[in-house]
Amino acid sequence: MGPIATYPPLMDSLGRVTADIVDCFECPRLVAWREKVADEKRAAFRDEVYWGRPVPGFGDPKATLVIVGLAPAAHGGNRTGRVFTGDRSGDWLFGALYRAGYANQPTSVSADDGLSLTGAYVAAAVRCAPPENKPTTEERDTCLPYLRRELALLTRLKVIVVLGQFAYDVMVRELGIRPKPKFGHGAEVRVPESDVTIVCSFHPSQQNTFTGKLTEEMFDAVFQRTRALTSPTR
């Protein structure tokens, strides 16, 4: 695998990151899987044209909040072309963002459905849908420069909400936090030598929401906390 392109900060832009992500073919296993899923489809979406490519982040360039998930869902972001769009995890995420005032609508079903985020940006640690939702360590590390560039370009960033252990491990490693604090829903970690705080949340996967491990009240509390952490009077 060749190295992913990087740019001096003054030459980079979110648009450039998006273009580079969409055109990425660095991980053969992920390329084969995302294209296989897009070709075979799920029966419920058999009449739709799947995106079948890497999925970029999206949101407000002036965001003070960044939400980092694991990877696009095979029949969610890999189908719609927008992360957390068109799946049940997205229903939870955008519902919570709407209730907290970050989104203009509580659902997201397609990339052109009118969803707009204010003060928030949504990304993922890995940009292609992985088999069994499990990227390899090499795939994770190959994809990480994209997230690194997005974070560098979001110059007003104050809070990073990590959805699940995988995203937490990625961010702690990327930001050089040692020793690593234990992950737990609602846990907070201050990034050294900055005014950025990591806020942890269980991932809004069906495994967590159907079992009650993550409730709507618990999820809303995370974004109520991000509001407090990003308040101008803080």
List the domains of the chain with CATH numbers: 12-229 (3.40.470.10)
Beta carbons of 117 and 103 less than 8 angstroms apart: yes
Q: What is the mean pLDDT of residues 150-160?
A: 96
Beta carbons of 227 and 101 less than 8 angstroms apart: yes
Taking 90 as the threshold, does the pLDDT of residue 183 lie above it? yes
Beta carbons of 121 and 130 less than 8 angstroms apart: no
> Mind listing the pLDDT tens digit for each residue in 200-223?
999 999 999 999 999 999 999 999
- In this prediction the pTM is 0.95
List Cβ neighbours of 120 (8 Å cut-off, separation of 6 or more): 59, 60, 63, 64, 65, 66, 67, 97, 102, 103
Backbone torsions φ then ψ of 58, nearest 5 degrees: -155, 160
- When the pLDDT of each residue in the chain is averaged and rounded to a whole number, the result is 95
